[in-house]
Amino acid sequence: MKVLITGAAGRLGRKLAPALEANHDLILGDVAHLDDPRFVPLDVTDLEAARSAARDCDAIAHLAILDWTGCVAAEAVRYAADAVRVHAIGTYNMLQAAWEAGVRRFVYTSTVSAVDGLPPGTPVGSDSRHYSNGLYGMTKGFGEDLCRMFHESLRLSVTVLRLGNLFIPESGGAWFGNVYVLDLATHPVPGLTPSRVHVDDVTRAIALALETPEPGYALVHVVGDNPGRQWDLEAVRRLYGWQPRYTFGADGLPVAT
Ligand SMILES: NC(=O)c1ccc[n+]([C@@H]2O[C@H](COP(=O)([O-])OP(=O)(O)OC[C@H]3O[C@@H](n4cnc5c(N)ncnc54)[C@H](O)[C@@H]3O)[C@@H](O)[C@H]2O)c1
């Protein structure tokens, strides 16, 4: 398949391309430059650019986001406006472009932050609507609604993957709640993060979501099967045969299962 990845220069995008390239022709779209012949400049907030990147594609993995890392509270107002533009308008544009191009599958990487407003410990099923108290989670949740709307009104085939907190071995660090620990090997970790998921498990889930012909619409969770996990993994197992190959303990480090 010809697959467009948006946000391809980001943390996940840089791992997703190598995971997909053996089986698919890739187009790597981002506002940030990538030194790769498959790179196309793409600002998802520009509908014409979205249309041009999506043309002739069979599938789209829509990853692009505005990162909050490094921002301080004083920047929240600017972040709010930009996050709405990139997460809401950008996702709308990519869905519209996908539908016009007749793509067979649109995969949207959402986040467990979209349900972080639910009381701690609440079991979160695949049918749980988003509910967040943060700008990032709220705007990503709006993207989930857009995905459902494009499926229900236009029959676009869409999978929403609510990803947990990514563990990328090369980066050396990871999120613990709202704290990013730069180097797990040398810094004490603040405690268990039940949503942690290994990036290899995530790229495998995205590949399955792109390649599995059915269902026409799904929302599933992609997290490690960790102690304290709230997010249901039954649907992702049933629909895609996916289950995590890594779990995480209180030290934040992965254990292969
Ligand atoms: N990293 C995590 O722990 C995590 C957890 C849950 C979900 N996710 C989801 O996974 C996806 C990828 O996350 P990531 O960690 O790789 O993010 P990232 O911030 O590392 O990468 C995002 C990329 O999007 C690009 N981008 C920003 N604005 C853009 C625009 N207007 N048009 C096109 N590209 C634009 C950036 O340049 C960047 O390369 C996101 O959808 C995110 O919500 C990530």
Task: Give me the domain span that covers residue 27.
Answer: 2-168+194-243
Cα(205)–Cα(130) distance, rounded to whole angstroms?
A: 21
Residue 67 beta carbon below 6 angstroms from any ligand 1 atom: yes
Q: Report how far ligand 1's centroid is from the alpha carbon of 89 (Å).
A: 15
Residue 183 corresponds to which tokens in the numbers above? 């180097």
- State the CATH number of the domain containing residue 214: 3.40.50.720
Per-residue 3-state assignment (H helix, E strand, C coil) for 182-243: CCCCCCCCCCCCCCCEEHHHHHHHHHHHHHCCCCCEEEEEECCCCCCCCECCHHHHHHHCCC
Cα of 67 vs centre of ligand 1, distance in Å, is 6
Asked, for residue 158, whether it belongs to a domain, the answer is yes
Residues in the chain predicted with pLDDT less than 50, given as ranges, are none
pLDDT at position 188 is 56
Closest atom, ligand 1, to C-alpha of 85: 31
pLDDT by residue (tens digit) across 42-101?
Answer: 999 999 999 999 999 999 999 999 987 655 666 777 788 899 999 999 999 999 999 999
Give the C-alpha separation, 60 to 95, whole Å.
9
The alpha carbon of 55 and the centre of ligand 1 are apart by a number of angstroms equal to 22
Residue 166 near ligand 1, beta carbon < 6 Å = yes
> Does some domain include residue 94?
yes
Is residue 252 in a domain? no
Closest to 29 measured CA to CA, from 47, 10, 48: 10
Is the beta carbon of 10 within 6 A of some atom in ligand 1? Answer: yes
Q: Is the CB of 254 under 6 A from ligand 1?
A: no
Q: What does the block give as tokens for 46?
A: 């520009």
Closest C-alpha to ligand 1, atom 37:
32
Question: Residue 101 and residue 80: Cα distance in Å, rounded?
Answer: 30
Q: Residue 215, preceding bond cis, omega within 30 degrees?
A: yes
| Per-residue pLDDT at 113 | 92
Give pLDDT, residue 252. Answer: 75
Query: Does any domain span residue 256?
Result: no
| 111, part of any domain | yes
Is the residue at 248 inside a domain? no
Determine if ligand 1 sits within 6 Å of the CB of residue 85.
Answer: no
Q: Is the CB of 193 under 6 A from ligand 1?
A: no
* Strand ranges in 2-85 using DSSP code E only, listed in sequence order: 2-6, 25-30, 39-41, 59-62
Amino acid code (one letter) for 90? G
Quickly list DSSP for 132-164: -SSHHHHHHHHHHHHHHHHHHHH---EEEEEE-
b/e map 51-84, b = 16+ CB within 10 Å: bebbeebbbbbbbbbbebeeeeeeeeeebeeebb
Going by alpha carbons, the residue nearest to atom 11 of ligand 1 is 63
Tell me, using a 6 A CB cutoff, whether residue 54 lines ligand 1: no
Q: Is 31 in the pocket of ligand 1 (CB under 6 A)?
A: yes
**Closest residue (by CA) to atom 7 of ligand 1?**
111
Rounded to two decimals, the pTM is 0.94
Count how many residues are written for the chain: 257
Pocket test for ligand 1, best of 12, 139, 223 (most atoms within 8 A of CB): 12
Task: Let me know if residue 177 belongs to a domain.
Answer: no
188 in a domain, yes or no? no
Count up the domains in the chain and report the number.
1
Mutate to test the pocket of ligand 1, among 4, 5, 6, 11 (most ligand atoms within 8 A of CB): 11
